[in-house]
Each structure stands twice: as C-alpha cells, then as structure tokens.
Amino acid sequence: MRCRALIRAFLPLAGLLLAASAAAPAGPPRAKNVILMVGDGMGFSLVTAGRLAKGGVDGPPLSFETLDRFGYQRIYSADGVIADSAATASAWACGAKFSNGALCFHGDGRVAPPSLLDLARERGRAIGLVATSAITHATPAAFGASVPDRRCESEIARQYLVETKVDLLLGGGMSSFQSAAKDPCGGGGEDYVALARREGYTVVTSAAGLRAATGTGKLLGLFATEELTRVQARPEDSTEPTLAEMTAAALDRLAQDRDGFFLLVEGSQIDWGGHDNDLGYAVSELLAFDEAVRVTQAWIAARRERAAQTLLIVLADHETGGLALVGPRDRPAATAPVKVTPHWATAGHTAADAPLWSSGPGSAELGGLVDNTKIYDVVRGALAK
C-alpha cells in the first residue's frame, strides 16, 4: 500500500517533468561536416546567364540551384554600402561587420570574434581552403588569418602555416609563400614553402602531384605563381588541377578525419570576369564552379549518412559589374544554349543583395533575407559538439 501511495504521489511530478522536457527547445542542428562554396562576384543575372549558356531557356537548373533552400544576403560593410570580398568574407568567417580591405581585423583595437576555422579546429574538425585565385586572396584569407590589409598575402601565408594551422590549402599563390620582399604587415622575406615542409605539410605543385598525394596529413598545393589559369585559356594538357578536381581531392582527404571537417571552396575568377565586363570569362568560371558544386553533391549523396551530417552552403560575396541581360529577344529552341546580350553598369562591385543556397543541418535558418553575418551564427551552431 505504501508503494502505491508513493507512486500516486510521484505521478503528478513525473507528468510535470515530461511536459517540461517536451516544451524544452531543441538545440541547433548539428553538422559533422560544413562546406562553404563561394562564387565570388556571382550576382543573380550572371546565374541566369550561366544557366542559359549551359542548357537554354528550358534546360535544367544549375547544380547549386537544386539545393533545398534559397535566400539572399544584405552585404554592406562597416564603412560602405558596397562591400568588397574582404569585408563580406570576414562577416562570414568572424560574424561581424568589418571595413573593406580588412580581414577579421578591427582598426579601432576591438578584438574580432574567433573565426569559423578556429571554432572548427577547437571542435575537432579538419580544416581546408581551396580557391582558383592565390590561396592567400581575400576570401579564403578571411577564414585563416587576421590582418588589417588584404594585400598582406605573405603574412597571410605565414599565419595559415603556424597560427591557424590549416590542414589543407589548394590554389595559386606560390609568390606569396616565397616572396623576397616584406608585405605591408611584415610577412615575407623567407621561404614559407620550406617552412610548410618543416611544419609537416606535403607540398604539391601539379595536378599529377595532387592525385598522387593520397593518405592523411597536412597538404599544401600551390599550382601557379599567382592565380590559376582561367578556364577559357587552359590547354588540354594543363598541369593545373581544375576547381572540381581540387574540391574532390579536398573532400577525400578531409573526410578521413573521423570528427568531420570544415571546407571553404571559392570560384574566385567569376568576379574577375565581371570586373573585365567579359561575359564569356565570367560564365565559363561560373560553370566550372558549378561543376565543383556537382562534385560536392555527389560526394554527399555517395553515403546515406552524409546528407544528415553535412551542411552545404553556396553563396556569393557581392555582385560585380552590374550585369543586365538585354537580349536576345527572340526565343531559341528550348534546350539550345543561349548567348545573352549583356549590358554592364560598372567595372566594380555593386550594392545589390547576394544570393544564397543551402541544404543540410541548420539550412532552415538561411531562407529569405538574412544579413551576411548570419552565416557565422548558423555555422557556429552547426559545428557545436
């Protein structure tokens, strides 16, 4: 009888505990892997031009257009309505507004929040950066370095190796690692490729070398003195890897870390086609970037658990060139490639909102209009242990 009385007395308390448990908010979705893929300078009109060039007016969407959610970003910087790559990448990487030209660095002495690469490292993830520019260029640099001036590319290289200790670096930029002169931040004047080897990196300088670099361990791939050769100018026997090849190699290597990884991939030269007001240049780089996205989606789809464990974000940092599509007016065959007639408003950046596609844990927060600092919040939450 006494036991029954105790049970009857406990039942209301148990009910309250169950109700409280049911009402408690769930934590943020967790991701084992986070992949950010940046189409630098890739505005809405250029995406349309790329889709038309690939598949015509009734062709399939581009690979990144098939992701679960679509949104767009406010991209103003701390000192301007029009942002550069440094300011936007720093907003993503460090979760605050920064001045144009600065990389996760406040000129007034304020300390920037820890970068997503720092957080990923603290939480056991492998970390990697891939770009078709010099790997020390503004967008990847914001994630792996903190400097007042994006031109400090040798100092950025040094920080990658001995401070951030990035596991994988693939792109151009040999000159930044072997500069005889000091940069504005005091970096350079020594051989950072030799330093990389002393720090335990395998160093490769060709596509063949990248293919041969199997296994685990830190990897530095420098495939050009500055940026990689643009897609339009590449010979068939090029010794440089494509963006898709670098992305596949990065995924294979970083995925060997059982705790997961953080990877940034940039199609850097989409932006440069916009600066040149060269539609062919911009579209060819965009389609090469989209191929890297397709490779990434195939990697995610190859194993059932990866879809639930991987946050994939594809986004632009700003729009370049003010592209308007003013023709052709006549409709061609449904799937015939369309070469649009462009009108460019500027050779610089514009203040237009920047597109954003995503899928995986945390992506539900990235639909509709968001500030670009929201990327930091979502990724930080997804990387939590």
Mean pLDDT over the full length of the chain? 93
What value, to the nearest 5°, has the Cα angle with vertex 188 and ends 115 and 245?
60
Q: Is residue 11 part of a domain?
A: no
Burial class of residue 108, CB neighbours in 10 A (0-12, 13-18, 19+): exposed
Q: What letters, b where the CB count within 10 A reaches 16 and e where it falls short, cover 6-40?
A: eeeeeeeeeeeeeeeeeeeeeebbbbbbbbbbbbb
Report the DSSP beta bridge partners of residue 266: 38, 131
pLDDT at 7 over 90: no
| Number of domains, the chain | 1
Four-point Cα dihedral 175, 169, 235, 178, nearest 10: 10
Q: Is residue 73 part of a domain?
A: yes
The pLDDT, as a whole number, for residue 10 is: 41
pLDDT at 4 over 80: no
- List 85, 176, 179, 358, catalytic entry: 85
Q: Is residue 186 part of a domain?
A: yes
Q: Is residue 10 part of a domain?
A: no
Please state the rounded mean pLDDT for residues 47-63.
96
Report the DSSP beta bridge partners of residue 188: 182
**pLDDT band, residue 29 (cuts 50/70/90):** confident
pLDDT at 24 over 80: no
Alpha-carbon span 338 to 67, nearest angstrom = 24
* Residue 369 DSSP code: E
pLDDT at 292 over 50: yes
DSSP 141-186: HHHH--BS-TT-HHHHHHHIIIII--SEEEEE-HHHHS-SSB-TTS
The pLDDT, as a whole number, for residue 22 is: 44
Four-point Cα dihedral 297, 202, 146, 120, nearest 10: 50
284 is catalytic: no
Q: Is residue 165 part of a domain?
A: yes
Determine what percent of the chain is predicted with pLDDT higher than 70: 93
What value, to the nearest 5°, has the Cα angle with vertex 299 and ends 205 and 171?
20
Q: Is residue 225 part of a domain?
A: yes
**Nearest Cα to Cα of residue 354 among 312, 319, 314, 313:** 319
The pLDDT, as a whole number, for residue 384 is: 86
CATH of the domain at 357: 3.40.720.10
**pLDDT band, residue 332 (cuts 50/70/90):** confident
Contact 185, 152 (CB under 8 A): yes
Contact 355, 44 (CB under 8 A): yes
Burial class of residue 331, CB neighbours in 10 A (0-12, 13-18, 19+): exposed
Please state the rounded mean pLDDT for residues 254-265.
97
Alpha-carbon span 52 to 56, nearest angstrom = 4
Element (H, E) at 355: strand 354-359
pLDDT at 366 over 60: yes
pLDDT tens per residue across span 187-243? 999 999 999 999 999 999 999 999 999 888 999 999 999 999 999 999 999 999 999
Contact 266, 133 (CB under 8 A): yes
pLDDT tens per residue across span 93-141? 999 999 999 999 999 999 999 999 999 999 999 999 999 999 999 999 9
Look up the domain containing 188 and give its range.
35-383
The pLDDT, as a whole number, for residue 23 is: 44
Contact 33, 255 (CB under 8 A): yes
DSSP 105-137: --TTSPPPPPPHHHHHHHTT-EEEEEEEEETTS
Contacts of 338 (CB under 8 A, 6+ apart): 52, 53, 56, 57, 328, 332
Alpha-carbon span 188 to 178, nearest angstrom = 7
Q: Is residue 139 part of a domain?
A: yes
pLDDT tens per residue across span 176-188? 999 999 999 999 9
Q: Is residue 86 part of a domain?
A: yes
Alpha-carbon span 5 to 8, nearest angstrom = 5
Alpha-carbon span 243 to 228, nearest angstrom = 9
The pLDDT, as a whole number, for residue 26 is: 58
